[in-house]
Structure 1
Amino acid sequence: MDGTPPAEQILAGLSHALLVVDSDHMVIRVNPAGEALFGTSAKHLVGRRIGQVLHFSDPRLDGALTERDISLTARGVMISGDDRKLGIVDFDIHPLASDSEWRLISLSPMPQDGPILENENNDPSDLAIRAPDILSHEIKNPLAAIKGAAQLLDRQLNESQKPLTQMITAEVERVVNLLNRMQTLSSNQPAQTKAVNIHTLIDRARRSIEAATGQAVKIHDKFDPSLPDALIDPDAMMQVLTNVLANAVDATKHLPDPQIRIITRYSFGASLSAQGQTAAVRLPIQIMVCDNGPGVPAELEREIFSPFVSTKKEGQGLGLALVKKLMRDMNGRIRYDRGNQDEMSRFTLFLPVAPKN
């Protein structure tokens, strides 16, 4: 014997799920981690078509399951099986070297209590939002000229004609505000972090929303009084909380029984590798903002933090993209999901703890 473990022992020892699919797209092998992920035995999975066993929210990934020659890797995708969500995984599919018509599917689940979050330096959305730095000067100058001309015309028109120039001025201001928000997304200024009591900021954000809407906002909270201070930029965090809370208020404003919850807790589940640091930064402070609104459509769930993606008819799709950037600037992260038990939409903020003096 050469001391090499048998293939069965190797498969059994893997922490991620593996499925082998034959040339007819039938599952012929599942390792124990795969049984745990799908919540059923290999006997129930083997012999079924892969398209019946595994589903993605993105139809392009579903199509890859039956493409014999394709090699594909996708990170952080939601999967389902037998009409129930199984969670978010890193997905890989490629033909076997010994037989190109057979394929190996690998599914690596992300922790449910909080994903392991790494520094994503090559995020396409980060590249896309740098465009305003290049175009802003060329766009704002002619906009200023248009606004000035409209204001001059406004002085010469009678009252019945002035709404036209006022509309031009208002639209110019709207576009300038949009450019300013996009420039904020593309800025690379470091966050000014310090130790902050997160509950104080949550209370300020609630009062800010009430002042903006002119009415009391009914929010049920469940705070962990022992939560340590977070290492955050208070101004940036205030903008994050205000944005997420405003979205919850907007999502529930037409419901007969609107429900918004804020939950804070300490958890050991999440960490990230921050740029320029060798050790992972733990993110044990969690803030969950939940509401019983309609939630994010399934087809937009994976893109909700990308620029220009919005669920609102009049939305610009920059609010959550800005939230994502501000959280990353503070070495934090944000995640959206829909709870399995209460079916409430939930945004979870993951934050680092401030060091003790």
Structure 2
Amino acid sequence: MDGNPSGELILAGISHALIVLDSQHLVARINPAGEALFGTSAKHLLGRKITDVLQFADLRLNEALVEQDISLTARGVMIYSDERKLGFADFDIHPLASGPEWRLISLSLMAQDGPILESENSDPSNLAIRAPDILSHEIKNPLAAIRGAAQLLERQLDDSQKTLTQMITAEVERVVNLLNRMQTLSSNQPARTQAVNIHTLIDRARRSIEAATGQAVKITDKFDPSLPDALVDPDAMMQVLTNLLSNAVDATRHLANPEIRIVTRYSFGASLSAQGGTEAIRLPIQIMVCDNGPGVPAELEQEIFTAFVSTKKEGQGLGLALVKKLMRDMNGRIRYDRGNQDEMSRFTLFLPVAPKN
């Protein structure tokens, strides 16, 4: 080929995504790597506002997309498009020196390494949280001692005092079952579901949390008494409920008038298509765990169910990731809604109804 390569050839040869924006923040040009990143052709991207095409969990980066004069570089940020997670990328945006009314965005996807693996071509329920066997072993040993001590203590108590020791024993068994489950979270084994009165599990989880806080926290409820049995794994569901209630306690710990509420209701709206199936599974049973705490920071809202993302200084970021995994194992779903003004923040669980015998 004679002469210098054309601009089109240069753009086509660049391996990372390049987007040119006009003064109205509309996509004016995108290279083939950009088309591949967003999974659609330039024809469907040109002329669209950049904030409709590209989003970030960090609101400051979203604002930078529509700031005409800003130059900004960010490394290792999660990027989204139309609510689809595209991955972690290095991001750069700056005005073009040859024409300040034009801006150039560069996006370079990072290689995905580490302990959390999610395949784009697999079911999203296949979240792998691998708990090392040695950690499970080190936790199970003291738990066995606690259970044994509680059983010995129970023999010396009268009937009115045995409730607490029985609760200790039940909670130890639940945690042991959870550890066993964590060791196989990377597998696709189905949950051991059965018909359960969900209010019985909620009451048990509430009593456990109230006992752990020395009755300092009161959890109110608003139950739908006509709710049918849910199809759930009782141990997994207990873990989900106690995790969400513990988070609500932490969120309201420093408030003068903390409020934590559990609401159940029947709704006809939600459904999902199970992996490998053709019929949609209805999810009409809803459980809402609400609190009047500050809520999840806006910049983390899209990441709260991702492993190792935590709003707590000492948090490990596994709690809500595990909740999401357990819910999906039971063919359920979870959603977070931030409270506005006087409204409470809430986590809503969507569960299937148990079939009638």
Sort the TM-score into its range (normalised by shorter chain).
Answer: 0.5 to 0.7
- Once residues 136 and 225 of structure 2 are traced to their aligned partners in structure 1, the CA distance between those partners, rounded to angstroms, is 48
Contact 1:193 1:233 in 2 (8 A): yes
Find the residue that maps to 1:186 and give its secondary structure: coil
2:293 corresponding residue in structure 1: 293
Residues 27, 255 of structure 1: alpha-carbon distance in 2 compared, 3 angstrom cutoff: same
Contact 1:245 1:289 in 2 (8 A): yes
Contact 1:236 1:326 in 2 (8 A): yes
- Residue type of the alignment partner of 2:122: N
- Once residues 125 and 312 of structure 1 are traced to their aligned partners in structure 2, the CA distance between those partners, rounded to angstroms, is 25
Deviation at 1:25, TM superposition (A): 2.1
Residues 124, 201 of structure 1: alpha-carbon distance in 2 compared, 3 angstrom cutoff: closer
Deviation at 1:182, TM superposition (A): 5.5
- Once residues 25 and 314 of structure 2 are traced to their aligned partners in structure 1, the CA distance between those partners, rounded to angstroms, is 46
Residues 317, 274 of structure 1: alpha-carbon distance in 2 compared, 3 angstrom cutoff: same
- Once residues 80 and 236 of structure 2 are traced to their aligned partners in structure 1, the CA distance between those partners, rounded to angstroms, is 34
- Once residues 215 and 258 of structure 1 are traced to their aligned partners in structure 2, the CA distance between those partners, rounded to angstroms, is 13
Matches within 5 A, 1:173-252: 183=183, 185-215=185-215, 217-252=217-252
Deviation at 1:74, TM superposition (A): 2.2
Residues 275, 125 of structure 1: alpha-carbon distance in 2 compared, 3 angstrom cutoff: closer
Residues 204, 237 of structure 1: alpha-carbon distance in 2 compared, 3 angstrom cutoff: same
Contact 1:182 1:318 in 2 (8 A): no
- Once residues 316 and 213 of structure 1 are traced to their aligned partners in structure 2, the CA distance between those partners, rounded to angstroms, is 21
2:83 corresponding residue in structure 1: 76
2:314 corresponding residue in structure 1: 314
Matches within 5 A, 1:86-125: 121=122, 123=124
Bigger mean CA deviation after superposition, 201-210 or 178-187: 178-187
Residues 253, 120 of structure 1: alpha-carbon distance in 2 compared, 3 angstrom cutoff: farther
Q: Does 1:302 pair with 2:302?
A: yes
- Once residues 324 and 269 of structure 2 are traced to their aligned partners in structure 1, the CA distance between those partners, rounded to angstroms, is 19
Bigger mean CA deviation after superposition, 196-205 or 268-277: 268-277
Q: Does 1:24 pair with 2:23?
A: yes
1:323 corresponding residue in structure 2: 323
Say how many residue pairs are matched: 240
What residue ranges of structure 1 are gaps of 5+ in the alignment?
1-20, 29-48, 79-100, 102-118, 145-177
Contact 2:236 2:326 in 1 (8 A): yes
- Residue type of the alignment partner of 2:239: Q
Residues 315, 307 of structure 1: alpha-carbon distance in 2 compared, 3 angstrom cutoff: same
- Residue type of the alignment partner of 1:305: F
Deviation at 1:308, TM superposition (A): 1.3
- Residue type of the alignment partner of 1:25: Q
Residues 310, 26 of structure 1: alpha-carbon distance in 2 compared, 3 angstrom cutoff: closer
Contact 1:229 1:354 in 2 (8 A): yes
Find the residue that maps to 2:348 and give its secondary structure: strand
Deviation at 1:291, TM superposition (A): 0.4
Residues 182, 194 of structure 1: alpha-carbon distance in 2 compared, 3 angstrom cutoff: closer
TM-score, scaled to structure 2: 0.56
Find the residue that maps to 1:287 and give its secondary structure: strand
Residues 219, 186 of structure 1: alpha-carbon distance in 2 compared, 3 angstrom cutoff: same
Deviation at 1:24, TM superposition (A): 2.6
Contact 2:50 2:65 in 1 (8 A): no
- Once residues 204 and 264 of structure 1 are traced to their aligned partners in structure 2, the CA distance between those partners, rounded to angstroms, is 15
- Once residues 309 and 269 of structure 2 are traced to their aligned partners in structure 1, the CA distance between those partners, rounded to angstroms, is 29
Bigger mean CA deviation after superposition, 188-197 or 226-235: 188-197
What residue ranges of structure 2 are gaps of 5+ in the alignment?
1-19, 28-48, 69-78, 86-101, 103-119, 140-177
- Once residues 57 and 73 of structure 1 are traced to their aligned partners in structure 2, the CA distance between those partners, rounded to angstroms, is 8
- Once residues 305 and 245 of structure 2 are traced to their aligned partners in structure 1, the CA distance between those partners, rounded to angstroms, is 16
- Residue type of the alignment partner of 1:121: S
Residues 331, 124 of structure 1: alpha-carbon distance in 2 compared, 3 angstrom cutoff: closer
Deviation at 1:269, TM superposition (A): 2.0
- For 1:173-196, what per-residue CA distance to the aligned partner results, in whole angstroms no more than 9, with x for missing partners? xxxxx9978535434432111111
- For 1:182-215, what per-residue CA distance to the aligned partner results, in whole angstroms no more than 9, with x for missing partners? 5354344321111111111110101111222222
